[in-house]
Structure 1
Amino acid sequence: MNQAGTRRFRAYTSKHLDDLLQRAGLGDEERLKVRAVATVLPFRTNAYVVDELIDWSAAPDDPIYRLVFPQEDMLPAADVARLADLLKAEAPNAEIQAEANRVRAQLNPHPAGQMELNVPRIGVEPVPGMQHKYPETVLFFPKQGQTCHAYCTYCFRWAQFVGDADLKFASDDIGQLVRYLHEHPEVTSVLITGGDAMIMGEPVIRRYIEPLLGVEQLESIRIGTKALAYWPQRFTTDPDADATLELFEQVTESGKNLAFMAHFTHPRELESPLVESAVQRILGSGATIRTQAPMIRSINDDAALWSGMWRRQLRMGMIPYYMFVERDTGPQDYFAVPLARAYEIFRDAYSTISGLCRTVRGPSMSATPGKVCVDGVAEIAGEKVFVLHFIQARDPALVGRPFFARYDPSAVWLTDLRPAFADRFPFEPTGEAALLTA
């Protein structure tokens, strides 16, 4: 096996950032502005990403470089300038962090009401570290899984990684989750997420998974992870790789579906033989691997890239699952693709793949009322409109029912749209409820 397959994990954080930026050929002022952005948005990568995935001869335009390294124009220029001035003046860290926190507060750190609308309760007490947005699915955020092998610059969970306790939600109480599940028999699926659950060692992740095997109503356990792209050695040569796969086998042998929700944002993440080996080992445990990623401007906003990625995933035994729209948080203005363009890219990619790849859905917005899919653009009664439907919804009665929005070529999110042929969208309140929320 090559060196990449045998080396131990090495993380690079903000203290290594300036040296890495020099490798990308950035000058002093450019590096200072990137470091300014990194005081607001988290930075972390590792030796596998740096040495095996990034084409440094193409940096800073290389898509994998842009996927993990901050860019100076991710934030408003005035904010970057203020932070750069503080760094240049070697201002006290408390002063730098105060300014960084001010900028963060403007970036919608918890979209879709994550901290207010999705909070489950046992009795009247809120349960920390969990979200329950859709009746059948609970998300659980293990305390030890609140980091990743590397951070994506577009990540909608960036607020989990900036060291602000008020922005973080996590739990180490698996007993509380089990109690909640017993009180809510409608829940049939638990998604262990973060961060990245696979940053945890096998003994830790076992403590979270094993108690779930005794919850009879559960049909599936999902693990949200980008480890296959950023550190495939987690499943091949890491010291606990074999024990981790034995745990996966234990889950599938219990009669529950173990679903890997694997994030692949660019085809290059699939090219290493290490990824092929890791995928085969996971599939050999009886688990399934479903793939998903957002469409990100300057990284993967290309139909041929998506169709090639889906076809390769299928050949490797994985199931294409979701194309997301970049969420309304963090540097959305930098990365977002207009909904009309996102639909065109999805349609063009979808038209070139076989039926086995057409398990993929999108482009999908994980918005406050639910997952909204853009089905197309049509002309109805002389009006050009977006055709939309809910894949998932807080109100299950809305799932699968088409609705319409006025066509807007610049819209990038659900809140940019206005209803067509109606005074309101079907998820918006009416009567007294509308007055209360106005």
Structure 2
Amino acid sequence: MVHKIIEWSMRNRFIVLVLSAGLFIWGLFSVQKNPIDAIPDLSENQVIVFTEWMGRSPQLIEDQVTYPLVTNLQGIPKIKYVRGSSMFGMSFIYVIFEDDVDVYWARERVMERISTISKTLPEGVAPQLGPDGTGVGHVLWYTLDAPGTDLGEQRAIQDWYVKFALQNVPGVSEIASFGGFQKQYQISIDPNKLLYYKLSVPQVIAAVRSNNNESGGRKFEMSDMGYIIKTSGYLKSLDEIANIPVKNQNGTPIKIADLATVQMTGETRLGIFDQDGEGERAGGIVVMRYGENAAEVIDRVKAKMNEVAKGLPKGVKFDIVYDRGELIKESVASIKNTLIEEMIVVSLIVFIFLFHWRSALSIIIQIPITIAASFILLNAFGISSNIMSLTGIALAIGVIVDNGIIMSENAYKHLAERYELWEKDQNKTTTL
């Protein structure tokens, strides 16, 4: 069979060259379409369900949130297993699907099941899906270099300007903010004053909620002009919160200021982000969407950062602390250098030992065609170009080169033997 293929190839050289050229061009297109990343994605095909119920103990979270969700999510088709984790005020459910299941189909199935489970959960508890990213989706970390700006302002810039702008970049699943202080209005109630005025904490909460609300109105016309009546009830300052009446006792309103201290402060933190020992900073983590090209996503995010930087306050700029794009470029450059070095070394060895430039040229041509064809298979099996796959291609070149050298040397040997026999026949014919 092999001899017939070789014989057919020798008789149809033009067809073989055309097929090789077509395979090489197809491979070049596959190289451009193949996702590039530095780290192979070995994470499981999972969907994360996150539930927040602040102030509750881990045991209560486990009994009333985690356990009901785990037991109800186990009936989803094409599922492998469900993992649950409970902590103070939060619950995490990891739904692991079969490897061949589409991640967005899996998210739809989980969302459908959650919609039926939510009625059985405690009031105010709303499970939500995590971002559609993988365990290796953190492709870029950045901080805001803002000297002279307090941490609350830095976090406000990140949450209300930078985050919304970068989330619109194609391929980005989420911008996770970290560091700084999240501003909030805080009401510190004095328990002794509550007892004195015979009030309770739920009454104070209800008063604040009812006063921080927008009421509807109506439209009416008078003198050929239309008027819209509405009430503006959203709280905008500390004084407005302090003047909220909670109860009327003997014609005297009891206000929030009579019961508590109202102040602007930051949300309680469990840690800080310190950069290079020079102080705290606020920033964000760019989480790449599932199945995207990491190199292209990073380039798009950086381009968007240049655009966003024009709207930052004076003196504030981006400081990239982790960039996987640099690792990707170094990995690809290393593989390219290895391939070029191998092609040069192999060509020299073949040329020196055989002293035949056509044999060396045939081996050099084999290497790029084979490498380009390998990317066709990478795309077919959904494998990205990363350190593992590119290293495997580099190692496989040794096998390709060995075959080329052996075949060239063997062909050269047989041709030399046949040439000697031909010379002997010619000498005999001349003698006769």
Q: Which has the higher contact order (CA 8 A, sep 6+)?
A: 2
TM-score normalized by the length of structure 1: 0.21
Higher helix fraction: Structure 1 or Structure 2?
Answer: 2
